[in-house]
Amino acid sequence: MLHWIYIAMVCWITALVLQELFQEKSWRNQIALSLVLIPLLLRIFHIK
Amino acid sequence: MLRQSSLRAGLLLAGVILICLSAALEFRRMDSPDRILPGEGTTRTRALKDYLARLEGSRSDTLVYFLESREPGATVLVLGGTHPNEAAGFLSAVLLVEGVRLKKGRLIVVPQACHSGFTCTDPLEGYPQSYSFPSRSRLRTFRFGSRAANPVDDWPDPLIYRHYPSGQQLSGNEIRNLNRAYPGKADGTTVEQVGYAIMKLIAEERVDLAFDLHEAAPEIPIIDAIVTHQKGRDLAAGALLNLELENLQYALELSPPNFHGLSHREWGDLTPVIPFLMETSNPIQGRLRGPTDEALILEGKDRQYRRALETGRMRITYSPDGEPLARRVGRHLRALQAVLNAYGELYPDRRVEFEGIPSYEEIMKNGVGAYLQ
């Protein structure tokens, strides 16, 4: 159960980061946000 | 029309997905089983689930190989892969399964005792996921696992691990260490179940002598040692003397009576078996090591350990030419034979005799691959 609460939290943070990625205008910030997305997606899909 | 920044975000997202996909494919490779090709000496196979049905279908179930002769003799158990990042222990067991026949006695081999640990690597160590070398007929690739079972199988680790049944306390991550889990528990954690199944195997198969093959970092004091329960002291001492005559130095370490969960303690206390644990020097496990790659597993050469050896400021077991896999496997197999020979001298009607087992010098000269299928 604890595991799925953790995954739900990661999904929520991922949604926020995705929203920011599409709203952001600076390309530097967009690259930074996409880098943040990598570990979040890896956790959601149980990779690494 | 799409704004430029949205288009860029979409492209970056596609890049992120590509990176995740490639990581996923590499990650999934750890679930592909290693190919062990039993030689003509292997007479039958079972699995750990035959000793504990609960393990069926789990990541911890693993194959048990039987090498049986027609001549009576002792029954010997060899465990490799208790710690899946200790390649020489695992490969010594594989070599027995693939290249050895029994003339007298019976040999039971479990090359991947902690099978769950072969499906992941230790975090933050930068370990390679696999290593390859040529054998007699093909290029063999084996997984390089983690010291303990996959955390996914028992997540999360507790802050403190309480050993069953002694109540001894260890750090939380040791809950996934098979060599802290004996005698195990039928309905316990992943490794407690494996420990229980191995104890049951020892009892059901009436094992006389059991070997747990390990490796450790060059700075660990019990390197190149034979660790045994007090009832194996004389046998180990006899073996050590014979090994010394062959110019192979070993230390004899007695299992601490109050340190629970270890194979050499619990197997010896709770079953009639005489247990032995052997260690070789493995630079990839060391804290001082430099680049951590496949070559370090196979050749065992590390510049930092060489420097430590030359300056003499650290007590390490490291040869100037490195600690190659061939030497580590050769030492394990030679020490195993030396203990069995000492046992045969004490009990001539319980001898165990091998055919096709390479000598230490042969393995050093031809490499491990020359003795695998």
CA-based nearest distance A31→chain B, Å? 7
| Residue from A36, A38, A44 to probe the interface with B (highest B Cβ count within 10 Å) | A38
B-chain CB neighbours of A41 within 8 Å are: 16-17, 20
Nearest CA in chain B to A45: B24
Residue B330 sits in a domain whose CATH number is: 3.40.630
CB B308 within 8 A of CB B344: no
Q: Please give the pLDDT value at position A2.
A: 82
Q: Please give the pLDDT value at position A21.
A: 96
B9–A24 C-beta distance less than 8 A? yes
DSSP letters for B185-215: -TTS-HHHHHHHHHHHHHHHTT-SEEEEE--
Please give the residue range of the domain that contains residue B200.
Answer: 39-149+178-371
Asked if the C-beta of A28 comes within 8 angstroms of chain B's C-beta atoms, the answer is: no
| More confident position, B357 or A1 | B357
B-chain CB neighbours of A24 within 8 Å are: 5, 9
CA-based nearest distance A16→chain B, Å? 14
Domain spans in chain A, listed from the N-terminal domain onward: 2-44
Total number of domains constituting chain B: 1
Q: Read off the tokens for B169.
A: 């306390």
Q: Please give the pLDDT value at position B3.
A: 82
Asked if the C-beta of A14 comes within 8 angstroms of chain B's C-beta atoms, the answer is: no
For residue B126, being part of any structural domain is answered with: yes
A-chain CB neighbours of B7 within 8 Å are: none
CB B120 within 8 A of CB B152: yes
Q: Confidence class of residue A48 from pLDDT cuts 50, 70 and 90?
A: low
DSSP letters for B311-358: HT-S-----TT---HHHHHHHHHHHHHHHHHHHHHH-GGG--EEESPP
Selecting from A2, A25, A31 the residue whose C-beta is nearest the C-beta of B12 gives A31
For residue B105, being part of any structural domain is answered with: yes
Q: Please give the pLDDT value at position B181.
A: 98
How far is B89 from B87, CA to CA, in rounded Å? 6
Three-class secondary structure of residue B248 per DSSP: coil
Selecting from A22, A27, A38 the residue whose C-beta is nearest the C-beta of B20 gives A38
List, for residues A3-31, the tens digit of each pLDDT value: 889 999 999 999 999 999 999 999 999 99
For residue B18, being part of any structural domain is answered with: no
A38–B19 C-beta distance less than 8 A? yes
For residue B85, being part of any structural domain is answered with: yes
Q: Please give the pLDDT value at position B1.
A: 52
Q: Beta partners for B130?
A: B143
Q: Please give the pLDDT value at position A46.
A: 83
A18–B13 C-beta distance less than 8 A? yes
**What one-letter code names the amino acid at B123?**
P
Mean pLDDT by 10 residues, chain B (373 residues): 85 95 90 96 98 97 97 97 98 97 97 97 93 96 97 91 97 97 97 98 98 97 94 97 95 96 98 98 96 97 96 92 97 97 96 95 97 96
CB contacts < 8 A, A to B, total 45
A30–B8 C-beta distance less than 8 A? yes
What is the model's pTM?
A: 0.91
For residue B27, being part of any structural domain is answered with: no
For residue B209, being part of any structural domain is answered with: yes
Selecting from A18, A33, A42 the residue whose C-beta is nearest the C-beta of B23 gives A42
CA-based nearest distance A41→chain B, Å? 7
CA-based nearest distance A29→chain B, Å? 10
